[in-house]
């Protein structure tokens, strides 16, 4: 818990930066846009329509779609920018709609009076319409504020730090203290910002100049703080440091710590970690140099980057093909293989497998139509699922996609019959699951490999050398043990990773 709270300033600041920037830009756009569409009538339906459509896109998807869109435009596609744009778009509708409603709902007699006393249309707007519509516009701003704070927790998978780091990381590593800290902090922030907007509105309405100034002062200092810290981060980024990425599961968190410690201990170069990246987001981030290094799996590259659906039996053959493809097509360097495979593997509850006499995947073929299968979000969309289905003739009664952290509980509890487990997951043994043999070799090998960005490979060969020293140091059993220590043992991924590097250096007699 203390370890979690120590991260709060960093995550809260990042969250605040995102939220405040998105709300500022959202409001600065939406209020004038609202005014515009009440003057130019024919624009109103299309403008509100577009804003509504944006709103109907699930918020996580809206953020995720920014990544390929920005990448296609050739700008920074991972991290702050996609999160900021997604949040800004999302903040528009409540403010826009309320501005329109507020202005349209004004008593026509008052508008006529404003004209009658000799106001120009700008004076009407500034002196009469906006002040009178203000309570409704403020209500929209408050809705936007609360939404934006909440949605900013979803910035984590696109690589922007936020309070969502607690929630995503905590759910994956079954650290519910972290989830709780993240939720409470986000809720608290939403209440505080909402309260500030409300206080400002009421001070203005009561026409209390001192109260307005105090609230404005607080808001201005929040912006100043966010801006100042953002500037700090920006300047800091110029410094010589290595950025390490991690996808959204326990093993990745442990491995990113291991890479970070190894780099720090061996070269003395500072590192920073960007965790909980979406699977293909991580690769794109590496390719474009927004992260410098992360661990991926040869089979994943084979299937999702190279789009191959054939399955060579030989691990080294796949490794070589992946290495040369990455080098030639993407200028990405395969630094080395860590020594273990984390493959997709079919697993069942031991007793259930016993009862149905199932040892190999091919045993499933005749009874699959009576069984259900659970897998992580991406598995059923991958080419290898289609080829596994073809090779074994599998047709399950039901397919369920779920968070990979939850599928082990699901199969142990009997909610599904089969899962596509990760072979290094400690919970396979801990929950007494039986791994089914891939007797027809339909699943490609999944060697864990360290990948380095073009920039790192070019400019920091000492880092490359430090990482290469990790080749072959982690076998499947060690990885399984480390995963289990986090997932069941309640340890933090950082501590487990640090422990590994310390032990490794001790074995090698490093100083």
Partner 1 sequence: MIELRGLSKRYRGVTAVDSVTLTVARGELLVLLGSSGSGKTTTLKMINRLIEPSSGRVLVDGRDAAEQEPHDLRRRIGYVFQRIGLFPHLTVAENVAITPSLLGWDAARVERRVDELLEVVELDPAGMRQRLPSELSGGQRQRVGVARALAAQPKLMLLDEPFGALDPLTRDRLRQSFVAIRRRLGLTAIFVTHDMTEALLLGDRIAIMEEGRLVQMGTPRELILSPVDAYVEQLMDTPRRQAREVDKLLEPEAR
Nearer to partner 1, 132 or 476 (CB): 132
The upper half-sphere exposure of residue 192, i.e. CA atoms within 13 Å in the direction of its Cβ, equals 14
Sort 357 into a burial class: Cβ within 10 Å, 0-12 / 13-18 / 19+: exposed
Residue 242's H or E segment, with its range, is strand 241-247
CB of 200 to partner 1, least distance (A): 16
CB of 97 to partner 1, least distance (A): 22
CB of 118 to partner 1, least distance (A): 3
Nearer to partner 1, 53 or 117 (CB): 117
Residue among 92, 96, 100, 101 at smallest CA distance from 54: 92
Q: Which residues of the chain form contacts with partner 1 (CB under 8 A)?
A: 109-110, 112-120, 123, 127-128, 131-132
Nearer to partner 1, 120 or 398 (CB): 120
**Sequence-distant (≥ 6) Cβ neighbours of residue 415 within 8 angstroms:** 374, 409
CB of 104 to partner 1, least distance (A): 17
Residue among 447, 426, 445 at smallest CA distance from 435: 426
CB of 102 to partner 1, least distance (A): 13
Q: Give the whole-angstrom CA distance, residue 416 versus residue 474.
A: 31
Q: Are 277 and 245 in contact (CB under 8 A)?
A: yes
Nearer to partner 1, 112 or 390 (CB): 112
Q: What is the DSSP track for 31-72?
A: HHHHHHHHHSHHHHHHHHHHHHHHHHS-HHHHHHHHHHHHHH
CB of 283 to partner 1, least distance (A): 56
Residue 253 structure tokens: 């968190």
Nearer to partner 1, 118 or 509 (CB): 118
Q: Are 433 and 271 in contact (CB under 8 A)?
A: no
Start-to-end Cα distance in the chain: 32
CB of 208 to partner 1, least distance (A): 14
- Residue 89's Cα: distance from chain center in Å? 18
Residue 165 structure tokens: 């780091």
Nearer to partner 1, 74 or 210 (CB): 210
Nearer to partner 1, 39 or 127 (CB): 127
CB of 127 to partner 1, least distance (A): 8
Task: Compute how many other C-beta atoms are within 10 angstroms of the C-beta atom of residue 311.
Answer: 20
Residue among 367, 452, 377, 442 at smallest CA distance from 407: 377
CB of 145 to partner 1, least distance (A): 24
Beta-bridge mates of residue 435: 347
Nearer to partner 1, 31 or 114 (CB): 114
Nearer to partner 1, 113 or 231 (CB): 113
Query: What does each C-alpha distance from 493 to 247, 264, 285, 386 come to in angstroms?
Result: 13, 17, 22, 34
Residue among 66, 33, 35, 59 at smallest CA distance from 47: 33
The structure tokens 């519509």 sit at 133
CB of 37 to partner 1, least distance (A): 23
**Sequence-distant (≥ 6) Cβ neighbours of residue 4 within 8 angstroms:** 166, 175, 177, 178, 181
Nearer to partner 1, 203 or 407 (CB): 203
Q: Give the whole-angstrom CA distance, residue 12 versus residue 328.
A: 41
Nearer to partner 1, 117 or 429 (CB): 117
Nearer to partner 1, 112 or 459 (CB): 112
- Residue 122's Cα: distance from chain center in Å? 44
CB of 112 to partner 1, least distance (A): 6
CB of 28 to partner 1, least distance (A): 23
């Amino acid at each position: 818990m203390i370890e979690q709270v120590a991260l709060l300033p960093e995550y809260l600041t990042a969250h605040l930066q995102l939220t405040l920037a998105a709300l500022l830009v959202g409001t600065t756009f939406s209020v004038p846009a609202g005014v515009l569409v009440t003057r130019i009538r024919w624009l109103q339906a299309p403008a509100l329509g577009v804003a509504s459509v944006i709103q109907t896109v699930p918020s996580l998807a809206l953020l995720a779609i920014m990544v390929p869109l920005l990448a296609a435009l050739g700008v920074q596609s991972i991290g702050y920018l996609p999160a900021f744009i997604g949040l800004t778009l999302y903040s528009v509708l409540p403010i826009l709609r309320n501005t329109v409603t507020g202005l349209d709902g004004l008593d026509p007699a008052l508008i006529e009076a404003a004209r009658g006393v000799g106001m120009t249309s700008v004076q009407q707007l500034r002196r009469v319409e906006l002040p009178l519509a203000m309570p409704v516009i403020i209500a929209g701003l408050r809705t936007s504020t609360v939404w934006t704070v909440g949605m900013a927790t979803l910035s984590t998978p696109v690589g922007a730090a936020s309070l969502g780091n607690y929630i995503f990381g905590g759910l994956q590593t079954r650290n519910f203290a972290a989830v709780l800290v993240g939720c409470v902090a986000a809720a608290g922030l939403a209440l505080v910002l909402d309260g500030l907007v409300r206080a400002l509105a009421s001070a203005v309405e009561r026409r209390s100049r001192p109260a307005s100034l105090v609230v404005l002062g607080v808001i201005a200092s929040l912006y100043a703080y966010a801006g100042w810290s953002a500037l700090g981060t920006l300047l800091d980024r110029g410094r010589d440091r290595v950025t390490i990425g991690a996808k959204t599961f326990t093993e990745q968190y442990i491995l990113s710590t291991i890479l970070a410690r190894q780099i720090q201990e061996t070269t003395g170069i500072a590192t920073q970690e960007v965790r909980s990246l979406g699977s293909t987001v991580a690769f794109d981030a590496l390719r474009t140099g927004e992260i410098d290094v992360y661990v991926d799996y040869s089979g994943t590259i084979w299937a999702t980057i190279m789009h191959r659906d054939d399955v060579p039996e030989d691990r080294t053959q796949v490794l070589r093909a992946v290495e040369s493809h990455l080098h030639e097509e993407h200028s990405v360097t395969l630094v080395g293989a860590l020594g273990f495979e984390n493959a997709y593997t079919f697993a069942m509850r031991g007793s259930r497998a016993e009862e149905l006499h199932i040892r190999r995947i091919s045993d499933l073929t005749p009874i699959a139509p009576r069984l259900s299968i659970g897998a992580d979000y991406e598995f059923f969309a991958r080419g290898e699922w289609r080829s596994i289905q073809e090779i074994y003739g599998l047709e399950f009664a039901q397919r369920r996609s779920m968070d990979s952290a939850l599928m082990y509980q699901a199969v142990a509890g009997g909610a599904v019959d089969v899962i596509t487990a990760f072979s290094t997951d400690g919970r396979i043994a801990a929950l007494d699951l039986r791994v089914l043999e891939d007797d027809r070799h339909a699943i490609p090998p999944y060697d864990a490999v360290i990948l380095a960005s073009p920039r790192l490979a070019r400019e920091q060969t000492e880092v490359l050398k430090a990482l290469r020293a990790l080749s072959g140091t982690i076998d499947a059993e060690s990885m399984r043990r480390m995963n289990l220590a986090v997932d069941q043992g309640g340890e933090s991924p950082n501590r487990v990773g640090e422990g590994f590097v310390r032990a490794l250096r001790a074995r090698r007699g490093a100083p």
